[in-house]
């Protein structure tokens, strides 16, 4: 059963070209999906449709096969199941302290004080920002802000978490920490969908990729399958990730047997080198 589906979505911003141009996408439960595309390919516009913020000019968004409604009761039910984390964490954090900000979502779900406290506590722990609970939101680093912004949605326990460019602006350690907590979240049955223009990140972290260009899905399939198709990537204005190129070349040269897995990290690629030397 498809958890969330976009069917032939179109959206045009006033005075510009099509942001979405008959776009199709499907998300299955437990998948880790990367929405991969160059800047301006319509990734953010799509995410805003997937939680009902924007209403498609034509086409529809289906939640478990049923079209999502745009009245306020349906939107609340929709957003309870589909959480969206904006690219800029500062656009999301409004309260003065971390714990207060994270309590906003659960309170809107109508939970009482004790339940809200428990949700805030577990969300802050899940994102490893528990020690920052009483810190004012403007006294956090970008990496911390990002994780607090995500905690604000995790506290609502959505089935799907949509993340717009989650690693944008983060340094190496910030990115590593974030990916680690996201992997932990997935273990607690949250389906992760993230947009990115970074092929290396998509290759490393996603198991499915939807490749975007000019408001359309060029392909949706397994990570290796999509990223091995040079023609497709060129059409999207992207290039295959270095690690994948390395792995495929190793297979051609017979260094890596066809049944063995391709290297997904620098460490795995280095081991491959060691074998040959």
**Which residues contribute to the site for another protein (CB under 8 A)?**
48, 51, 53, 72, 75-76, 79-80, 83-86, 88, 90-97, 99-101, 103-105, 107-109, 113, 116-117, 120, 134-139, 152-153, 156
Comparison of 140 and 219: residue with beta carbon closer to another protein: 140
Sequence-ordered list of residues with C-beta below 8 angstroms from that of 82, at least 6 positions apart, any chain? 4, 50, 51, 52, 63, 158, 159, 160, 162
Short-list 246, 256, 248, 247, CA closest to 276? 256
Shortest distance, position 149 Cβ to another protein, whole Å = 8
Shortest distance, position 142 Cβ to another protein, whole Å = 12
Shortest distance, position 233 Cβ to another protein, whole Å = 31
Comparison of 103 and 213: residue with beta carbon closer to another protein: 103
Comparison of 138 and 172: residue with beta carbon closer to another protein: 138
Beta bridge partners of 208: 33, 222
Comparison of 153 and 246: residue with beta carbon closer to another protein: 153
Query: Is residue 31 within 8 Å of residue 204, measured between CB atoms?
Result: no
Query: Is residue 7 within 8 Å of residue 24, measured between CB atoms?
Result: yes
What is the Cα–Cα distance from 188 to 183, expressed in whole angstroms? 9
Comparison of 133 and 255: residue with beta carbon closer to another protein: 133
Query: Is residue 196 within 8 Å of residue 35, measured between CB atoms?
Result: yes
Reduced 3-state DSSP string for 62-121: EECCEECCCCHHHHHHHHHHEEEECCCHHHCCCCCEHHHHHHHHHHHCCCCHHHHHHHHH
Comparison of 156 and 262: residue with beta carbon closer to another protein: 156
Residues 264-268: contacts with CB under 8 Å, at least 24 apart:
264/203, 264/204, 265/204
Shortest distance, position 91 Cβ to another protein, whole Å = 4
Comparison of 152 and 247: residue with beta carbon closer to another protein: 152
What is the Cα–Cα distance from 114 to 123, expressed in whole angstroms? 14
């Amino acid at each position: 059963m498809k958890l969330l589906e976009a069917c032939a979505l179109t959206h045009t911003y006033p005075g510009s070209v099509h942001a979405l141009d008959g776009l199709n996408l499907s998300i299955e439960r437990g998948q880790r999906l990367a929405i991969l595309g160059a800047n301006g390919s319509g990734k953010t516009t799509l995410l805003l449709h997937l939680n009902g913020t924007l209403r498609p000019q034509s086409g529809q968004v289906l939640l478990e096969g049923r079209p999502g409604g745009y009245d306020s009761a349906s939107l609340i039910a929709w957003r309870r199941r589909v959480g969206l984390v904006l690219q800029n964490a500062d656009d999301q954090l409004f309260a003065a302290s971390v714990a207060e900000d994270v309590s906003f979502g659960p309170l809107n779900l109508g939970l009482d004080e004790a339940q809200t406290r428990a949700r805030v506590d577990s969300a802050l722990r899940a994102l490893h920002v528990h020690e920052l609970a009483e810190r004012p939101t403007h006294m956090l680093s970008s990496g911390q802000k990002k994780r607090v912004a995500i905690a604000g949605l995790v506290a609502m326990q959505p089935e799907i978490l949509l993340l717009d460019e989650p690693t944008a602006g983060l340094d190496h350690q910030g990115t590593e920490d974030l990916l680690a907590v996201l992997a932990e979240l997935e273990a607690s049955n949250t389906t992760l969908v993230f947009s990115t223009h970074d092929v290396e990140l998509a290759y490393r972290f996603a198991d499915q990729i939807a490749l975007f260009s000019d408001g359309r899905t060029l392909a949706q399939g397994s990570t290796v399958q999509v990223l091995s198709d040079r023609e497709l990537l060129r059409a999207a204005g992207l290039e295959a990730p270095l690690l994948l190129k390395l792995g495929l070349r190793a297979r051609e040269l017979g260094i890596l047997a066809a049944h063995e897995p391709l290297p997904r990290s620098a460490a795995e690629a280095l081991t491959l080198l060691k074998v040959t030397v």
